[in-house]
Amino acid sequence: MLTLWPSLGGAEYKNTEGAVLTPEPLTEHVYRIDAGALGIYLIALPQNLVLVDAGFPGTMRLVAEALEELGREPSEVTDIVLTHAHPDHAAGLAEIVEVTGAQAWMHADDAALVRAGRAYRPWTVAPGEHNRLFAEQVIKNSPTTYEPVPVDHDIVPGQTIDVAGGMRAIGTPGHTAGHLVYLWERDGGVLFVGDAAKNETCLEPATIYEDFAQGLEDLTMIADLDFEVACFAHGAPIIGGASLQFRRLRDDNGHCSA
């Protein structure tokens, strides 16, 4: 059943309801935190913690409960790397920064939206009736603004940022102009995909794009990388042989790869 995103009048989005509070271990250091309608990710190192994406408003409660399960503290979160500015990825940033004091990192193009509290640029729907329905019934009803928040670090695509011992930020400007995926080469290679693709019923392109043709090119580029684990905002992570599945998706011209 589709869950509509309420307006910003409430303290938190309903999408955080029903979340599984126990963090799911994916590798030695990477955990998935269930935020109800999506997953955000935690890199847990002995010296600090890193979040990938910030979810909806209210996500900090889920993060705090996950950290408690792991015996860690919110003050240990030193960095938040964001894939892009859409509200399910960035609208919770202000609260998380306030609680943790962490520094935020993202591409300058989408950082400009976050600093202004703007959720979207114009977008189009990817092919497929399921995408059209979700966009009409959910995304078009989502908030277009959220609390503005400073972003500490503007990332240049191709840059290796000084987070978690080094993460390579790779430009994937189809979904949004400032969308980044992050390749962390520890733990066998972990790719934080954001919305460059989804893996709900199968591995396939995301639901909406600012530039769908560029989005397909992004998937081709991702297929040339080497990584064992793929972490999606929407859908189940792929554990083992993840880059091979992206190569199958590329070879199928972006059609659903089960």
Average pLDDT across each block of 10 residues of the chain; the chain has 258 residues. List them in order. Answer: 32 45 92 92 98 96 96 98 97 98 98 98 96 94 94 98 98 98 98 97 96 97 98 97 96 73
Has residue 8 been placed in a domain?
A: no
Has residue 96 been placed in a domain?
A: yes
Has residue 257 been placed in a domain?
A: no
Beta strands at 24-25 and 198-199: parallel, antiparallel or unpaired:
unpaired
Q: What is the pLDDT of residue 119?
A: 97
Has residue 179 been placed in a domain?
A: yes
Has residue 146 been placed in a domain?
A: yes
Has residue 144 been placed in a domain?
A: yes
* Model pTM score: 0.92
Q: Domain span at residue 150?
A: 14-251
Has residue 3 been placed in a domain?
A: no
CATH number, domain containing residue 48: 3.60.15.10
- The total of structural domains in the chain comes to 1
